[in-house]
Amino acid sequence: GCYYVAMDFSGHGLSSHRPAGCAYHFLDYVTDVCRVAAALQWRRFTLMGHSMGNFSFSYCSMSPQFCFLYPEMVDKLILLESLGFLLAPEDTEAWLKSKRRVIDRLLSLEAKQQTPKARSPEAALQRLLEANSHLTAEGGAILLQRGATETPAG
């Protein structure tokens, strides 16, 4: 049999919203579908798009774009009230390569999430200064105050 998963994209319905000031880009929604498919352990599935899943704020349709970028994951594409495909055929290959590379890199980084390294404040400052020769010790200390969190481990 079949079952349906109706997902809310980030910032819609009951899904988490992005922080204030962060833009919502159509590639983020394609990435959301990748995450859901991975969480459900789907290798291939039928994708149905309607409303924003069918067309978005500009020339980008989420469902067709996902299908374009990950054709190996989609066995069928169903579009309800579709605008169709709006990418010029001569632009397809370059678009696919660049957009898929962005999404795959992001997902790869997420998969490699590591626990942050704990360092003493002094060791953290030393590491920051070694990696950024243009920083002064005072500037590095200010950056650490704003960007580092002290934990019991360091």
Kindly state the tokens that stand for 91.
């632009």
DSSP 8-state class, residue 51 = G
CA neighbours closer than 13 Å in the CB half-sphere of residue 44: 5
Listed in sequence order, the residues at least 6 apart from 5 whose beta carbon sits closer than 8 Å to its beta carbon are 36, 40
Q: Name the catalytic one among 10, 15, 16, 51.
A: 51
51 has catalytic annotation: yes
For residue 66, give the nearest of 11, 152, 14, 52 by alpha carbon: 52
Inter-residue long-range contacts of 142-151, CB under 8 Å, 24+ positions, other chains counted: 148/121, 148/124, 150/121, 151/118
| Alpha helices by DSSP H, 5-132 | 26-39, 62-69, 92-111, 121-131
Catalytic residues: 51
